[in-house]
Amino acid sequence: MNLKIALLPGDGIGPEIVGEAVKVLDAVAKKYGHEFKYEKALVGASAIDATGDPYPEETHQVCLRNDAVLFGAIGDPKYDNNPNAPVRPEQGLLRMRKSLGLFANLRPLAVFDSLAHRSPLKTEIVKGADFLCVRELTGGMYFGRPQGRSEDGNTAYDTCIYTREEIERILELSFKLARGRRKKLTVVDKANVIATSRLWRQIAKEMSPKYPDVEVEFMFVDNAAMQIIQRPTHFDVIVTENLFGDILTDEASVISGSLGMLPSASVGSEVALFEPIHGSYPQAAGKNIANPMATILSAAMLLEHLGLAEEGKAIREAVDKAIEKGIVTEDLANKGEKSYTTSAVGDFVAAAI
């Protein structure tokens, strides 16, 4: 198969981890007789530095003309500490999601048995946890207008808006994903307080009879935050709106033992995008210490999304092998044991393909 993949390394450790994922993709292409072609583009703070725009039109075109996008991370401390910066890297990410129609962000959380002891939770609680968070990605408070400040600067406002169409399409996808898993869907909302949540709940109830094989439950977001910690094995597929999903997926990600292990996919009407859940980790940039596994696993999701299931599995197995053999970066190494560099881990996984 010939595949064209857009590479958007972004900021911080982005270029290093995307580089390792490309190594692994090349190994897959060689082994299975495919041809993967890459096209690089700028996004985030590095794009602001080069062009003044965190998501330049050229980058948008590169995304559109490729079969899928592999994205690293964005963010730079010089913007985090300056609330008055006129352009921010995050604006590029939001614009990219919206303009590519990426309305669903899929964040799978699975606890590797061999890493369960690294979880901040007790091993017996996390062992076997395996769920998928489906986060709505292009609606809600992130995009609702009006948003801003009063003239005197002393009042600020955001708007949370959801239309039936936006809710239906994300719920439809979630029901279908639940169907392909353990057939349980948890709809997370705050229907006891906010109007958008009540519309979500109403529509989920309307749609549920179409998926009689899927068991639906409703959970308030504050309770869900607690249940994810207390009984992570309870969940199969969780679906929720943009802001709740942002918060809950960060919470869920640490359960696995390392944020450095978790991939994600953003899908919608246009080209799909694959990225690690963690951020740009600027303190580690250029040091060859960051964990490349989440990006390598994102590449596996990318191949699976494009129909290359066996190839995706080969990547997952190579990652498992690296973990088993202790070929891991410092975030995963046991106390007193040797850890490996970003590129050494990438080399091992590529060779194991």
Give the binding site for ligand IPM (CB under 6 A): 90, 93, 246
9 in Cβ contact with 47 (< 8 Å): no
Strands (E), the chain: 2-10, 35-40, 68-73, 104-110, 130-136, 148-149, 156-157, 184-189, 215-220, 237-240, 263-267, 272-276
Q: Provide the CB-side half-sphere exposure for 93 (13 A, CA).
A: 22
Q: How far is the CB of 181 from ligand IPM (least distance, A)?
A: 22
Q: How far is the CB of 238 from ligand IPM (least distance, A)?
A: 15
Say which of 55, 142, 211, 340 is annotated catalytic: 142
In this structure, which amino acid lies at residue 44? Answer: G
Say which of 190, 236, 331, 340 is annotated catalytic: 190
Q: How many residues bind Mg ion (CB under 5 A)?
A: 1
Q: Which stretch binds Mg ion (CB under 5 A): 127-135, 180-188, 230-238, 242-250?
A: 242-250
Please tell me whether residue 246 binds Mg ion under the rule CB under 5 A. Answer: yes
d(CA 182, CA 177): 9
Torsion of CA 199, 272, 174, 131, to 10 degrees: -120
Question: 224 or 352, CB closer to ligand IPM?
Answer: 224
Question: 53 or 246, CB closer to Mg ion?
Answer: 246
The listed partner (ligand IPM, Mg ion, none) that binds 168, CB under 5 to 8 Å by sort, is none
Q: Which helix (H) or strand (E) holds 226?
A: helix 221-230
Task: Identify whether 246 is a catalytic site residue.
Answer: yes
The listed partner (ligand IPM, Mg ion, none) that binds 90, CB under 5 to 8 Å by sort, is ligand IPM
The listed partner (Mg ion, ligand IPM, none) that binds 93, CB under 5 to 8 Å by sort, is ligand IPM
Q: How far is the CB of 155 from Mg ion (least distance, A)?
A: 26
Say which of 250, 320, 321, 347 is annotated catalytic: 250
Say which of 246, 320, 321, 347 is annotated catalytic: 246
d(CA 200, CA 219): 12
150 in Cβ contact with 128 (< 8 Å): no
Task: Identify whether 55 is a catalytic site residue.
Answer: no
Positive or negative, the Cα torsion across 160, 165, 166, 171?
A: positive
3-class SS of residue 212 = coil
Please tell me whether residue 158 binds Mg ion under the rule CB under 5 A. Answer: no
Q: Which stretch binds Mg ion (CB under 5 A): 77-85, 226-234, 238-246, 342-350?
A: 238-246
3-class SS of residue 142 = helix
Which residue carries 């609606």 as its tokens? 139
Ranked by CB distance to ligand IPM, the top (closest) residue is 90
Task: Identify whether 142 is a catalytic site residue.
Answer: yes
Question: 267 or 328, CB closer to Mg ion?
Answer: 267
Q: How far is the CB of 36 from ligand IPM (least distance, A)?
A: 25
Q: Which residues pair with 264 in a beta bridge?
A: 275
Ranked by CB distance to Mg ion, the top (closest) residue is 246
Q: How far is the CB of 246 from ligand IPM (least distance, A)?
A: 4
Question: 53 or 246, CB closer to ligand IPM?
Answer: 246
Residue 260: C-alpha distances to residues 37, 107, 293, 296, 320 (Å): 26, 13, 6, 10, 14
Tokens found for residue 43: 């996004």
Residues 6+ away with beta carbon under 8 Å from 13: 72, 73, 280, 281, 282, 284, 285, 290, 342
Say which of 49, 80, 113, 222 is annotated catalytic: 222
3-class SS of residue 198 = helix
Q: How far is the CB of 194 from Mg ion (least distance, A)?
A: 20
Task: Identify whether 222 is a catalytic site residue.
Answer: yes
Binding site for Mg ion (CB under 5 A): 246
Residues with a known catalytic role: 142, 190, 222, 246, 250
